[in-house]
């Protein structure tokens, strides 16, 4: 059984409502959570609510066959009966003003999944029906089977708006969430604060779950899922599995570095990698591994703590000098520079990085490998996304770059992926489905170098 929880736009309460529904249903069902789009933060809430790793589904990264394969695989791994998919932005918002690539609607279509529309009903009654009618008529192939009203003023407001939507838009309203600061989440420059940083987040999620139990007809939600047609046919592989030699891959994972697609880690493991997790903040050195993967996160917020751990920084630099493969993304790239906002880092790349007040890049990315490296062969096309407020000050230097940016911004002049020996550090976050050779190439490099 599957369901898409989609919004009429951003900031309508999708994450708190979706997470609360996942929590409420998890008391009776095994729930597998999903998030539409290139998002690392919302999935941390899903995972804490359900006990199952939230997976990303993205039609820029994935074909329809990969979307179905990714959904089915995750459901199988977690042995779940319910697949709950939180959308991104508004239902129809993607990379094109008229197309579906990158939007929530594309995921609903690929999975032939029923959709529940979440609508901010503040100051709306009859107009709420007009909004629902518009969403239903824009693309009749999208099966909008119910509506959740958020920001409901009181019982009277809820009943009037429910009547308008059900009679005029011919769509069931299955719940109304009252205005309550208890379902607000602290923000940060890259979005919601990651759940792993919030010691009390589990208590907040429990509150959201109780609120959904009290204000949403969960039985109606389950019935909508039960009545969905079978999952469409057609599957395509998410990643290549060929590496036969065992390797150890160190993965930087702590309160600072948390931005990893679970599928990327799975792909590494299926290519015979033993993942060894370590903390650049709290551990003294990189463990004994054949290669290192440093994902994104918030190193700029923890720059003092990272600077204070000189033994770890020296250990990373030594690993680099010994030509062990190191792959870093975004926050990981910053950690490998000389400094972050004046705080000393690993100095694998002798350039400072600094935070800016405005976003420096926010885009889906298409890149092409300039040369053979630890991740790709020359000419390979790698898709990903970039979202950061930092920049790398290269001065007059002309470093070697791993990738030419065909869509997006990169580090400078349409180039990304700083290279030095067997280290590649880039602003690009990639997903293994967008480049199925990712794990194979990286584990092969770790085995051979």
What positions carry a catalytic annotation? Answer: 330
Whole-number Å distance between alpha carbons of 338 and 330: 14
Angle subtended at Cα 342 by Cα 323 and Cα 332, rounded to the nearest 5 degrees: 40
Say how far apart CA 418 and CA 171 lie, in whole Å.
52
* Nearest alpha-carbon partner for 150 in 170, 131, 168: 131
Q: Is the dihedral of CA 373, 379, 384, 388 positive or negative?
A: positive
- DSSP E strands in 280-414: the ranges are 291-294, 296-297, 326-329, 337-340, 343-344, 349-355, 361-369, 381-388, 390-392, 401-407
What is d(CA 438, CA 443) in angstroms, rounded to the nearest whole number?
9
CA distance 190 to 389: 8
Q: How far apart are CA 267 and CA 249, in angstroms?
A: 12
CB 84 within 8 A of CB 22: yes
- Which parts of 27-103 fold into alpha helices (H)? 42-50, 64-78
**SS3 for 200-269, per residue?**
CHHHHHHHHHHHHHHHECHHHHHHHHHCCCCCCCCCCCCCCCCCCCCEEEEEECCCCEEECCHHHHHHHH
What is the rounded distance in angstroms from the CA atom of residue 54 to the CA atom of residue 46? Answer: 6
Residue whose tokens read 């790709």: 376
Q: Give yes or no for a contact between 337 and 305, defined as CB atoms under 8 angstroms apart.
A: no
Look at the block and give the residue holding tokens 């909508």. Answer: 224
> Tokens representing 310?
């000189």
Q: How far is 412 from 390, CA to CA, in rounded Å?
A: 12
């Amino acid at each position: 059984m599957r369901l898409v929880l989609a919004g009429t736009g951003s900031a309508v309460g999708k994450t708190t409502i979706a997470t609360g529904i996942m929590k409420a249903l998890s008391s009776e069902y095994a729930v597998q959570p999903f998030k539409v789009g290139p998002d690392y933060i919302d999935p941390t809430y899903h995972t804490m609510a359900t006990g199952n790793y939230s997976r990303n589904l993205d039609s820029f990264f994935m074909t329809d066959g990969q979307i179905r394969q990714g959904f089915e695989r995750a459901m199988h791994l977690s042995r779940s009966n319910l697949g709950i998919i939180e959308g991104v932005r508004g239902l129809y918002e993607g990379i094109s003003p008229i197309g579906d690539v990158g939007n929530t609607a594309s995921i609903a279509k690929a999975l032939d999944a029923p959709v529940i529309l979440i609508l901010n009903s503040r100051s709306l009654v009859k107009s709420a029906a007009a909004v629902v009618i518009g969403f239903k008529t824009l693309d009749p192939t999208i099966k909008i089977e119910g509506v959740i009203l958020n920001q409901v003023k009181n019982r009277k407001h809820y009943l009037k708006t429910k009547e308008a939507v059900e009679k005029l838009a011919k769509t069931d309203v299955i719940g109304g969430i009252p205005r309550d600061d208890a379902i607000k989440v602290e923000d940060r420059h890259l979005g919601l604060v990651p759940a792993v940083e919030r010691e009390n987040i589990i208590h907040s999620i429990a509150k959201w779950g109780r609120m959904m139990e009290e204000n949403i007809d969960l039985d109606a939600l389950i019935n909508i899922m039960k009545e969905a047609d079978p999952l469409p046919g057609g599957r395509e592989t998410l990643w290549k599995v060929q590496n036969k030699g065992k390797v150890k891959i160190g993965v930087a994972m702590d309160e600072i570095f948390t931005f990893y697609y679970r599928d990327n880690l799975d792909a590494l493991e299926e290519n015979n990698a033993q993942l060894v997790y370590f903390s650049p903040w709290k551990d003294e050195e990189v463990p004994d591994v054949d290669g290192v993967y440093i994902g994104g996160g918030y190193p700029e917020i923890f720059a003092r703590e990272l600077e204070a751990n000189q033994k770890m920084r020296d250990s990373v630099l030594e690993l680099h000098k010994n030509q062990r493969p190191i792959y870093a993304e975004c926050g990981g790239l910053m950690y490998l520079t000389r400094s972050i906002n004046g705080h000393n880092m690993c100095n694998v790349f002798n350039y400072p990085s600094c935070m800016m007040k405005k976003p420096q890049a926010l885009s889906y990315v298409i890149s092409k490998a300039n040369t053979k490296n630890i991740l790709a062969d020359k000419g390979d096309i790698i898709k990903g996304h970039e979202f950061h407020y930092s920049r790398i000050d290269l001065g007059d230097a002309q470093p070697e770059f791993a990738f030419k940016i065909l869509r997006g911004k990169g580090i400078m002049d349409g180039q990304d992926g700083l290279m030095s020996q067997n280290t590649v550090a880039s602003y690009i976050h990639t997903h293994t489905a967008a480049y199925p050779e990712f794990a194979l190439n990286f584990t092969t490099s770790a085995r051979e170098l």
